[in-house]
Amino acid sequence: MRPERLEIAVIGGGLAGSLLAITLAQRGFRPIVFERRARYDATEPERGRSINLALAARGIAALDRCGIYAEIEPLVISMRGRMIHEHDSTLKLLRYGQRDSEQIFSISRTALNRKLYEIATRRHGVEYQFDSPCIGIDAGSEQPIIETHGRVRTLDADIVFAVDGAGSAIRGALEEFGALAVSDERLGHGYKELAIAPAPSGGYAIDPHALHIWPRGNYMLIALPNTDGSFTATLFLPLDGRTSFASIGADDVSAFFCEQFPDAVGLLGSLEEEYADNPTGLLGTIRCSTWTFDNRYLLLGDAAHAIVPFHGQGMNAAFEDVATLDELLDAHGDDFQPAFEAFERSRRADVLAIADMALENYAEMRQRVRDPDFAFRQQVAFELERRFPDRFIPRYSMVMFHPEISYAEARRRGFEQDRTLSKLCANASRVMDVDFELAERLVGAA
Amino acid sequence: MRPERLEIAVIGGGLAGSLLAITLAQRGFRPIVFERRARYDATEPERGRSINLALAARGIAALDRCGIYAEIEPLVISMRGRMIHEHDSTLKLLRYGQRDSEQIFSISRTALNRKLYEIATRRHGVEYQFDSPCIGIDAGSEQPIIETHGRVRTLDADIVFAVDGAGSAIRGALEEFGALAVSDERLGHGYKELAIAPAPSGGYAIDPHALHIWPRGNYMLIALPNTDGSFTATLFLPLDGRTSFASIGADDVSAFFCEQFPDAVGLLGSLEEEYADNPTGLLGTIRCSTWTFDNRYLLLGDAAHAIVPFHGQGMNAAFEDVATLDELLDAHGDDFQPAFEAFERSRRADVLAIADMALENYAEMRQRVRDPDFAFRQQVAFELERRFPDRFIPRYSMVMFHPEISYAEARRRGFEQDRTLSKLCANASRVMDVDFELAERLVGAA
């Protein structure tokens, strides 16, 4: 049944590429993964590159589909909510969900990538070729060109998956060919990673089971826990303007942090050096006119639809891409062409929705979480979910904890929820004052 | 041959809806147009709503395709370039193209809409129903619901075209149904229209054959000529921040204009009243996951893909939509379903490209036109076009004057041009110093 001799190239051996390779191997294919970087076990993580990520239910569901989540689980640290650090150093925990089980999971990009690589290679015999960036597509054969240590070769693949990330070389080459159009919308804000060391006693310096946020209106600092007791902090700041990466030099950064993040400054042991040495990362949204080409290419993950990181859904969406493709290969009997077409048709609305929700969440994290009204609306939303669990699930919870609800559906219901919550909160300042009879009418039938 | 009895509803009798109705009537169909507004000939133009537009080659080509441009041409005023008003009131003309024929055309939205309505109704017998907004879609029949003077009815249409603009009710209803996902990305800048009266002597107060720009970095004032000797000026400004619609009240506006637009302030006779009374318009980009639904609906124009106005291409793109659909109905023998699918497939890349180019052009208009390097690059680009007319057409010219080159192709070539121009301009400060042998190699084969 299975066309085992199909040559499948997976361009990019990062998180999505490795999960895709596992999925394809489990289907009986023998993909070859081409990875730009040197062999993972021989290298240190890249400096200043987002090194911890938030795994949530969509990503877990995709890992579960391959039967490998049990091996990933030991790598994660659960986070039950956002720990808000006010300007006066008071702390406030805003839980992610109303149930204790509704948590998200901090995980090291490097550790997860190595684990997926290990599963792909040791269990499934997937071949990885390292030091092998794709440098373009051959105009005649329309095949990827790979360069390894100066040696250039053109592949001869029946199927090519582009999972080579936000800066995808395949996407760039297809764009140059006129095979697709790409929108790369920069946010105008950048980020810089900074390290919080473990406490001198060896434990965590701050609560490990939370995503820490120092919301400051137009910018913010966040921190996610690592398994070794450290945290990775990330400063998000406009690129230009009054308070920005352009205006704050390494000489100014200590004063800026003492002023704005007084309770964090003591945790950031090498603030000035890291601020000077770590690159300023750019943020943006990639949108493509199509993700397929020539019945042969499919773009997946960041290569197809990079989003800003503020909903913690970039990796989760990429993993969900892989799971969706796997379902469609089931439905189409491993026939790639109709599966690719169906993927594009079914996934476009979801990707449009999560890209927007990720952008919207930046304002929520850096600004709205400070507002007492925000916490009150969230309490009311949780109460509605408790009372009407089949009829009301807060949008954030749908995105993070309900993979059975698509991103597009979550966004659509979110608009309704906003209207409902605005009506219910207009005349109440405590949850007990909310008109739950009106609420029941507003949330409608199950 | 033609299914004359097909019931076709055109929701929206604006510019695109009227051109579409003409096109459909010319194909032998009998569309009915449902329009929210009152009968055109009985009403004044809406206040503060963009009342002049820039018609360029794509729009003209679409009008020509219907054989009606000769009737539109008397309504336009040609603009040969951008007249830059420096802060010290000096003027600088930056031509749009290197050929005298490369001009764009200011036209009144109201006059054009009335002319298209007149052609549709008088020549082609198209029925318009006014005061008839679409207020949603019936969940059972999936048919548009129209309300006229309080009377609500559900249509029974075989085909529904949603050409009801950026705030499309059809699109909103389809979004609520979960039939498509919509991204509505606000720019963060708004606009306000202001009037420049004719000179006391009766003529134009400033050069009528130019699009006037007062570029001021993060904001700008522009003015387009009207046939009656007046100009419509538009102030584009951030919504919030130091210099913004939030910070500048009606009391401050005269001082702000005296400071920033000294040579314009005398032309704006009712600045304070208009600033106070005219609404602040919002700007944004609409992206949809699909433009079709149920083999019955097709979204076109702003309803499908509203863009920011800075490339003057919103109306032109909408007219090109109509021409593209007309071509596809030719190709598919008036079979709507395959034509709709082909439309979506072929048009998506172009719409993605013009949306981005429109956003990019804001920074060009308000900021980069001030830079002497910008004018120099443009001169070099024109010289390349003169020397290698088959191989180099500046991106702006491709978008505005070359409808045979798609938006996506224009954007793609634009990236190459940027690299070429950067190399050529790096070591030259006058056009005569440019290395045109290198240029010939860089622009490549025809």
Looking at residue A107, what is its pLDDT? 96
Closest CA–CA distance from residue B105 to any residue of chain A (Å): 28
Q: How confident is the model at residue A427 (pLDDT cuts 50, 70, 90)?
A: confident
Looking at residue B40, what is its pLDDT? 81
Residue B442 CB contacts under 8 Å (≥ 6 apart), including other chains? B420, B423, B424
- The answer to whether residues A296 and A137 touch, using CB atoms and an 8 Å cutoff, is no
Tell me the average pLDDT across B417-436: 93
Look at A289 and B352 and tell me if their CB atoms are within 8 Å: yes
- The answer to whether residues A392 and A384 touch, using CB atoms and an 8 Å cutoff, is yes
Query: How much is the mean pLDDT over chain A?
Result: 94
Q: Does B348 contact A at CB distance below 8 Å?
A: yes
Q: Report helix, strand and coil shares of chain B as percent, to nearest 5.
A: 40, 20, 35
Q: Among residues B392, B366, B437, B396, which one has the least CA distance to residue B56?
A: B396
**DSSP secondary structure code for residue B47 in this structure:** T
**DSSP secondary structure code for residue B44 in this structure:** P
Q: What percent of chain A has pLDDT over 70?
A: 96
Among all chains, which residue has been given the structure tokens 């949850």?
A431
CA distance A212 to A196: 12
The answer to whether residue B11 scores a pLDDT higher than 60 is yes
Q: Does B359 contact A at CB distance below 8 Å?
A: yes
Q: Does B341 contact A at CB distance below 8 Å?
A: no
Name residues 380-419 of chain B within 8 A of A (Cβ). 408-409, 411-412
Count of other CB atoms within 10 angstroms of residue B137: 26
Look at A181 and B289 and tell me if their CB atoms are within 8 Å: no
The answer to whether residue B216 scores a pLDDT higher than 90 is yes
Tell me the average pLDDT across A371-385: 95
Q: What token pair was written down for A165?
A: 């990330």
Tell me the average pLDDT across A24-48: 84
φ/ψ (deg, to 5) at B282 = -100, 155
How do strand B32-34 and strand B127-129 relate by DSSP bridges? parallel
Q: Among residues B215, B234, B209, B236, which one has the least CA distance to residue B223?
A: B234
Cα–chain-centroid distance for residue B182?
Answer: 20
The answer to whether residue B404 scores a pLDDT higher than 80 is yes
Contacts of A299 in chain B (CB under 8 A): none
Looking at residue B334, what is its pLDDT? 96
Closest CA–CA distance from residue A218 to any residue of chain B (Å): 11
Question: Which of B352, B407, B419, B420 to substitute to test the interface with A, most A CBs within 10 Å?
Answer: B352
CA distance B30 to B418: 48
In chain B, the N- to C-terminal Cα span, in Å, equals 43
- The answer to whether residues B197 and B269 touch, using CB atoms and an 8 Å cutoff, is yes
- The answer to whether residues A429 and A418 touch, using CB atoms and an 8 Å cutoff, is no
The answer to whether residue B4 scores a pLDDT higher than 70 is no
Q: Among residues B268, B272, B258, which one has the least CA distance to residue B230?
A: B268
Tell me the average pLDDT across B284-291: 96
Among all chains, which residue has been given the structure tokens 């600092």?
A221
Q: Among residues A20, A27, A19, which one has the least CA distance to residue A1?
A: A27
Closest CA–CA distance from residue B330 to any residue of chain A (Å): 24
Q: Does A346 contact B at CB distance below 8 Å?
A: no
Q: How confident is the model at residue A6 (pLDDT cuts 50, 70, 90)?
A: confident
Looking at residue B444, what is its pLDDT? 82
CA distance A188 to A308: 11
CA distance A183 to B350: 11
Tell me the average pLDDT across A390-414: 96
CA distance B81 to B83: 6
In SS3 terms, chain A reads as CCCCCCCEEEECCCHHHHHHHHHHHHCCCCCEEECCCCCHHHCCCCCCCCCEEEECHHHHHHHHHCCCHHHHHHHCEEECEEEEECCCCCEEEEECCCCCCCCEEEEEHHHHHHHHHHHHHHHCCCEEECCCCEEEECCCCCCEEEEECCEEEECCCCEEEECCCCCCHHHHHHHHCCCCCEEEEEEEEEEEEEEECCCCCCCCCCCCCCEEEEECCCCEEEEEECCCCCEEEEEEEECCCCCCCCCCCCCCHHHHHHHHCHHHHCCCCCHHHHHHHCCCEEEEEEEECCCEECCCEEECCHHHHCCCHHHCCHHHHHHHHHHHHHHHHHHCCCCHHHHHHHHHHHHHHHHHHHHHHHHHHHHHHHCHHHCHHHHHHHHHHHHHHHHCCCCCCCHHHHHHHCCCCCHHHHHHHHHHHHHHHHHHHHCCCCHHHCCHHHHHHHHCCC
CA distance A32 to A9: 5
Residue A386 CB contacts under 8 Å (≥ 6 apart), including other chains? A98
The answer to whether residue A60 scores a pLDDT higher than 60 is yes
**DSSP secondary structure code for residue B370 in this structure:** G
In SS3 terms, B212-229 reads as EEEECCCCEEEEEECCCC
Tell me the average pLDDT across A53-60: 97
The reported pTM is 0.88
The answer to whether residue A244 scores a pLDDT higher than 70 is yes
Closest CA–CA distance from residue A414 to any residue of chain B (Å): 11
Q: How confident is the model at residue B43 (pLDDT cuts 50, 70, 90)?
A: low
CA distance B417 to B413: 6
β-bridge partners, B91: B85
Looking at residue A1, what is its pLDDT? 43
CA distance B267 to B5: 55
Q: How confident is the model at residue A243 (pLDDT cuts 50, 70, 90)?
A: very high
- The answer to whether residues A1 and A304 touch, using CB atoms and an 8 Å cutoff, is no
Q: What token pair was written down for A200?
A: 């001198």
Q: Does A135 contact B at CB distance below 8 Å?
A: no
CA distance A192 to B389: 46
φ/ψ (deg, to 5) at A286 = -105, 130
CA distance A437 to A14: 50
For A190-211, how does the pLDDT look when each residue is reduced to its tens digit (9 = 90+)?
A: 999 999 999 998 899 999 999 9
Rg (CA), chain B: 23
Of A41-50, B51-60, B193-202, B369-378, least confident by mean pLDDT is: A41-50
The ipTM (two decimal places) reads 0.80
Tell me the average pLDDT across B215-233: 95
Burial of A331 (0-12, 13-18, 19+ CB in 10 A): exposed
Closest CA–CA distance from residue B14 to any residue of chain A (Å): 27
Q: Does A353 contact B at CB distance below 8 Å?
A: yes
Looking at residue A5, what is its pLDDT? 64
CA distance B193 to B222: 10
Query: How much is the mean pLDDT over chain B?
Result: 94
Look at A180 and B290 and tell me if their CB atoms are within 8 Å: no
Among all chains, which residue has been given the structure tokens 């949108």?
A287
Q: How confident is the model at residue A43 (pLDDT cuts 50, 70, 90)?
A: low
